[in-house]
Amino acid sequence: MLGAGSFFTAGLARDIMLIPGQDRGEIRLVDIDKKRLDISVNLVKALSDKLTNGKWKVIGTTQRKKVLKGTDYLINFIEVSGVQCVRHDNDIPLKYGIDQCIGDTIGPGGIFKALRTVPSWLGILRDIEEICPNALVMNYTNPMSIMTLAAARSTSAQVVGLCHSVQGTSRQMAKIAGVPFEEMAWRCGGINHLAWLTELKHKGRDLYPKIFKRARTEKEVYEADPVRFEMMFHFGAFTTESSGHLSEYVPYFRKRKDLLKKYCRDGYRGGSGFYADCWPKWRKDCDRRRNELAKDITKMSLERGVEYASEIIEGHRFNRMKTIYGSVSNTGLIPNLPSSGVVEVAVLVDNTGFNPCYFGALPPQMAALCASHMYVYECVVEGLMNEDREAIYHAMTIDPLSASVCSPAEIRQMTDELIWAEREFIPKFMSKGIKRPKPSKRRRPRIGA
């Protein structure tokens, strides 16, 4: 597990220890932050003691090359730069009228997170090819689609991008429709954070009419996810991420204060600056909570969760066919999306590894929104792999949220401000020749301006 200081570590370790028939093994935890690494080591050892009588060996190190040899499965959830850039990611674009809620997968914040993260990811992939080329690689780090595309362009290893939005959203839809999740038949495809649940059925009956009715007539249903329901009303299907994420993926809801007030709510429902305001505190709270759990592991849920990592390991190791949803190369899986990109579809897992499933064409209105982002990802990855700053400018300029607010010249100026502010954390080719920009004094325009 790389980036083992992450909050993902304990839950995934628990799930792996609860795989039926896998009563022992070795979990190797890697993090460059020794303090946070030690917290995770203590917690995972406590889980091993509680769940397996210590049969799972736990190793911690700050040097990944020391523990890659012999690795069967590699799970990546690194975070490059910690909390040092979250305010820049949010506050500099905000001066130009670009209001973000989360800003870690798309928009200016997501693109600059890619600039900070992908170079380290490429180094990890090189080490995997050299030391453990047969390992199945699972990536949880955002920006998911960019990370997965970078892997597809740079390694022969089997890599899948994993999120929990499909699991959560499908269960949410079953609850709204009032049917048991296990009995619901559904299809989902698109890109990470913008995949579409194109079919929802129960015993052959279409569930969407009931979901539409409840969202239109019951305030508590609509208010739980206003942006996602608005997109469902106008595009025909529900999508797989929170209203906060989705509001950044489309150009409709965050470009004016009246629209923000009408459609966006607090927290994950679209709150302005939500991640930038909360992330530093969350990290401290997470560390404190994990220290507490390591001392008394019974305070943690010891039931297996719904993350896909343990399902993948179980399916591969024991040849028990599993269906997960993941980000993979679009080898004709969704034929009306770019074949050079990455899509999120059903993936079968058995002892051969990852076997992505054909989805078919998306309805054109849904495909159009997905494709617009796939070209952003293309520009980012091309820019990073070819050290081409102009490609990064292009990515910023065609980003749907930024383009809904700013002119190309304004976006370039904003990009230069971000480059200067984050120059210590991004590749040197990005800041070469860049002088300290004169900060923009622009603020979000008044409604109607």
Asked if residue 449 has pLDDT above 50, the reply is no
Token code pair at residue 119 = 């170079």
Asked if residue 324 has pLDDT above 80, the reply is yes
> Which pLDDT does position 42 carry in this prediction?
97
> Which pLDDT does position 7 carry in this prediction?
87
8-163+276-299 has which fold? LDH C-terminal domain-like (3.90.1820)
DSSP bridge pairs for 187: 199
Asked if residue 48 has pLDDT above 60, the reply is yes
Q: Give the mean pLDDT of 223-248.
A: 98
Closest by CA to 195, choosing from 399, 366, 375, is 366
> Which pLDDT does position 439 carry in this prediction?
64
Under the banding of pLDDT at 50, 70 and 90, the label for residue 447 is very low
Token code pair at residue 407 = 């002119």
Catalytic residues: 164
> Which pLDDT does position 442 carry in this prediction?
57
Q: Share the mean pLDDT of the chain.
A: 96
Task: Report the distance separating Cα 263 and Cα 2, nearest Å.
Answer: 37
Beta strands in 175-236 (DSSP E): 184-191, 194-202, 205-206
Kindly report the CA angle at 271 between 266 and 276, in degrees rounded to 5? 125
CA 405 to chain centre: 24
Evaluate the CA torsion angle 213, 229, 189, 339 in order and state its sign: positive
> Which pLDDT does position 441 carry in this prediction?
64
Under the banding of pLDDT at 50, 70 and 90, the label for residue 443 is low
Domain ranges of the chain: 8-163+276-299
Token code pair at residue 399 = 């980003």
Neighbouring C-alpha atoms within 13 Å toward the C-beta of 314: 21
Task: Report the distance separating Cα 308 and Cα 327, nearest Å.
Answer: 12
Q: What percentage of the chain's residues is helix, strand, coil (to nearest 5)?
A: 50, 15, 35
What predicted TM-score, i.e. pTM, was given to this entire model? Answer: 0.96
> Which pLDDT does position 438 carry in this prediction?
78
Output the furthest CA–CA distance in the chain (Å, rounded).
Answer: 66
**349-390 residue pLDDT tens:** 999 999 999 999 999 999 999 999 999 999 999 999 999 999
Strand, helix or coil for residue 358: coil
Asked if residue 232 has pLDDT above 50, the reply is yes
N-term to C-term CA, the chain: 50
Task: Report the distance separating Cα 345 and Cα 166, nearest Å.
Answer: 10
**61-105 residue pLDDT tens:** 999 999 999 999 999 999 999 899 999 999 999 999 999 999 999
**264-322 residue pLDDT tens:** 999 999 999 999 999 999 999 999 999 999 999 999 999 999 999 999 999 999 999 99
Asked if residue 339 has pLDDT above 50, the reply is yes
**155-208 residue pLDDT tens:** 999 999 999 999 999 999 999 999 999 999 999 999 999 999 999 999 999 999
135 with 128: CB under 8 angstroms?
A: yes
**379-429 residue pLDDT tens:** 999 999 999 999 999 999 999 999 999 999 999 999 999 999 999 999 999
